[in-house]
Structure 1
Amino acid sequence: MDNNKPIGIFDSGIGGTSIWREIHNLLPNEKTIYLADSKNAPYGEKSKEEIIRLSMKNTDFLLNMNCKLIVVACNTATTNAIRELRAHYDVPFIGIEPAIKPAAIHSKTQVIGILATKGTLNSELFNKTTEMFYHTKIIEQIGYGLVELIENGQMESPEMTQLLQSYLNPMIDANIDFLVLGCSHYPYLIPQIRTILPDHIEIIDSGLAVARQTQNLLNQIGFNSDNNKQPIFYTNTNPKVLQNILGSKYIVQEKDF
């Protein structure tokens, strides 16, 4: 295999760029291709069958771009479709799951909160994970409306603040000491979440863990690249929001897929 082939990354929209940033920072010599399926966001409200179909569509696109490895930078797609992806394609996949384990292990109150999509919280994989930590009380909250506001460029809107307060205040009242972000869109909300949560509550997302897993896999199979190339970003909707998230340094291409 050509080691200088790119790493493919896909998400239901712009949120997975939080994962891309961690990968790019840790592996600057790796070429990356990011696919934002914003036209179909959010995945969290879709059926398992539809999530699998969309995940395969995204994978096909990235494989046609000669990607050597696929990062599923979407909690909903990982928890609902990664088993089928691994069975169907002969390429390594790395997924992203809510970081329940470190929160449960380190919680002093034995109460943790998770903010995630409906598709993630209802998935078989997520339920199997939470069953392992039955001594910890897990406050689950579906983040209705959050992805839509992010995708529409309304991260700092009054509507966003109101939603976050309604989701987080009951967790605070329940005495959580860790908040797990179970959607790759949500790290972009950390500045606002931080203004709502007391200082002692720690926020956990999975971005750095996914980047390290990607690094470890490349080391194991000897696919590391030594050819630093500009990342490529594709979206199937208006590229303005994705462009604003990334900044002017990178070029976003609109493409129907």
Structure 2
Amino acid sequence: MSDNRPIGVFDSGVGGLMFVKEIKRLLPNESIIYFGDTKNLPYGDKSNEDITKFSVSITQFLKNNNCKAILIACNSATASALKEIKKIAGKDIIVIDVISPVAEKISFELREKIGVIATKTTVKSGAYKKAIRKRNKHINVIELATPLLVPVIEEGFVNTPISKVVLETYLYNKKLEGIDSLILGCTHYTHLEREINQLFNKKVNIVNSPLIVVNHIIYMLSKNGKLASKDAKSEYLFYISYTTDSIVKTTKRLFGKDIQLIEKSLED
């Protein structure tokens, strides 16, 4: 049994592209429709009501485009709107978030003190702490809001003196002293993984969220008989709500210069 309909993925900007890249690597026969809500980024400083409104609109768009599964490649949207997204998606569409699979995996590893850096919305919700401690009450989870990191990434300042100063300011916070693992609780932050590793001198385990989440996607698609057939030809469509230099540059760097981005308003 197979299903060649596309997988839908959405985020507020370039962060979710790292998950698309991992899906492409591990599931080369799967087609993907990506929606980057660049007009409303970052989601992390928006109200729960606004995040829910944006997320529901994108979910409806992906549903209308016949997606068999939807990956919420945004921690803030997961923390604020998961229930509403599942309601709009309906029973036929598999909905996968980026928090639950990570919490499930890390909870049963030998960890004592886990740090989480994320947006204000995600930290305020306590989503990671709740999800991890629900599975393992013995793990100490420290969450720290790092709101400047998304603008740094979206403005193209990765691997620059600017990103270094901002990262040092956050990561040298006393709250994170003694952590053995760090969860990058915003999908954008995967673009900073190399710099974060360097600041910790590779002594802290940086959790690879894209790999964990995409393995969960494989499991869910296989379980429900929705994997694409082995002879399926994959197609990739990239939609954005507003054209920015950052998302154009990042998309073409990750997926090739021939990739086209289609501007699509959520109000249409």
**What TM-score do you get using the length of structure 1 for normalisation?**
0.90
Q: Matches of 2:72 and 2:88 in 1, distance apart?
A: 15
Equivalent positions of 1:69-84 (< 5 A) are: 69-84=69-84
Equivalent positions of 1:42-57 (< 5 A) are: 42-57=42-57
Contact 1:235 1:255 in 2 (8 A): yes
Is the aligned partner of 1:148 residue 2:151? yes
The Cα offsets for residues 183-206 of structure 1, whole Å up to 9 and x where unpaired, read as 111011011112211222110032
The Cα offsets for residues 24-75 of structure 1, whole Å up to 9 and x where unpaired, read as 1111101001110011111111121111111101111112222121111111
The Cα offsets for residues 130-186 of structure 1, whole Å up to 9 and x where unpaired, read as 443443332221111111121122223322211100111125972111111101110
Q: Quick one: which amino acid aligns to residue 169 of structure 1?
A: Y
Q: Matches of 1:182 and 1:236 in 2, distance apart?
A: 23
2:197 matched residue in structure 1: 194
Q: Matches of 2:205 and 2:175 in 1, distance apart?
A: 12
Deviation at 1:229, TM superposition (A): 2.3
Q: Matches of 1:155 and 1:124 in 2, distance apart?
A: 27
Q: Identify which range, 199-208 or 246-255, moves more after superposition.
A: 246-255
Match of 2:167 among 164, 168, 176: 164
2:124 matched residue in structure 1: 122
CA RMSD of aligned residues (A): 2.3
Match of 1:236 among 227, 233, 241: 241
Deviation at 1:218, TM superposition (A): 1.4
1:92 matched residue in structure 2: 94
Q: Matches of 2:86 and 2:103 in 1, distance apart?
A: 23
Q: Matches of 1:118 and 1:228 in 2, distance apart?
A: 40
- Cα distance 1:222–1:116, how it changes in 2: closer, same or farther (>3 A)? same
> Between the two proteins, what is the percent identity of the paired residues?
34
How many equivalent pairs are there?
A: 256
Q: Note the residue ranges of structure 2 that are not aligned, 5 or more in a row.
A: none
Q: Matches of 1:162 and 1:64 in 2, distance apart?
A: 43
2:14 matched residue in structure 1: 14
Contact 2:10 2:72 in 1 (8 A): yes
Deviation at 1:207, TM superposition (A): 0.9
Q: Matches of 2:61 and 2:104 in 1, distance apart?
A: 33
Q: Quick one: which amino acid aligns to residue 245 of structure 1?
A: T
Q: Matches of 2:6 and 2:109 in 1, distance apart?
A: 36
Match of 2:216 among 194, 206, 213: 213
Q: Matches of 1:231 and 1:239 in 2, distance apart?
A: 19
Q: Identify which range, 27-36 or 198-207, moves more after superposition.
A: 198-207
Q: Matches of 2:200 and 2:228 in 1, distance apart?
A: 41
Contact 1:38 1:151 in 2 (8 A): no
Contact 1:11 1:35 in 2 (8 A): yes
Q: Secondary structure at the match of 2:141?
A: strand
- Cα distance 1:92–1:101, how it changes in 2: closer, same or farther (>3 A)? closer
Q: Matches of 1:43 and 1:173 in 2, distance apart?
A: 24
Deviation at 1:105, TM superposition (A): 4.5
